[in-house]
Amino acid sequence: GYVKLVVSQNVDGLHLRSGLPRQALAELHGNIFMEKCEKCGKEYFREFDVGGMSFQPTGRMCEVARCGGRLLDQILDWEDALPEDQLCRAEDELRTADVSMCLGTSLRIKPASDLPLLALRKDKATGKESGTMVICNLQSTPKDRRAAIKARTS
């Protein structure tokens, strides 16, 4: 396929419910339906809001044999740093992407707002910029001047 990674700031779990494979998704702000074992790292995608915020215990335990670790919610609070594993995946993929598509975002909150720019690289030999950024949003964004394509709808 053409889409290698979806980088999302949404916490509603809709990307996974749409059928997008977990390995093709970086959730920068977490997921209200996700719990993760603090010991073994196993993730549990639930049919219900797991409650909590800021990576706190949910009261449930890991079901992996001989683990029994506490499950933690996977929602960022304002003072929490972005999850390093998710941010690094996004940065790595965008540095080699041919196109970054920004869909329904104001591109105003850093560091996430700067991620799409990683797809725009200068060729060391020619000095020309390669990679393309596309922005589809209702309003203008601070990154519009760098986008090859801007789509607005009302």
Write out pLDDT tens, residues 23-62.
999 999 999 999 999 999 999 999 999 999 999 999 999 9
* Catalytic site positions: 29
Residue 13 falls inside a structural domain:
yes
Contact 102, 109 (CB under 8 A): no
Residue 37 marked in a binding site: yes
For residue 115, the tally of other CB atoms under 10 A from its CB is 20
Residue 138 falls inside a structural domain:
yes
Residue 136 marked in a binding site: no
Last residue of a domain, one of 17, 42, 75: 75
Q: What is the DSSP letter of 57?
A: E
Domain that holds residue 142: 97-151
Domain shared by 67 and 103, yes or no: no
Residue 111 falls inside a structural domain:
yes
Domain shared by 112 and 143, yes or no: yes
Short-list 31, 21, 67, 23, CA closest to 52: 31
The DSSP bridge partners found for residue 132 are: 99
Short-list 99, 105, 83, CA closest to 28: 83
Query: Once rounded to an integer, what is the mean pLDDT over residues 110-119?
Result: 95
Residue 15 falls inside a structural domain:
yes
Domain shared by 70 and 109, yes or no: no
Q: Which two structure tokens, joined as six digits, stand for 74?
A: 């996977």
Residue 90 falls inside a structural domain:
no
Residue 86 falls inside a structural domain:
no
Residue 102 marked in a binding site: no
- For the chain, the domain total comes to 2
Three-state secondary structure string covering 11-44: CCCHHHHCCCCHHHEEECCEEEEEEEECCCCCEE
> What pLDDT was estimated at residue 130?
85
What does pLDDT average to over the chain?
94
Residue 141 falls inside a structural domain:
yes
Residue 3 falls inside a structural domain:
no
Domain shared by 13 and 71, yes or no: yes
The pTM of the full predicted model, rounded to 2 decimals, is: 0.88
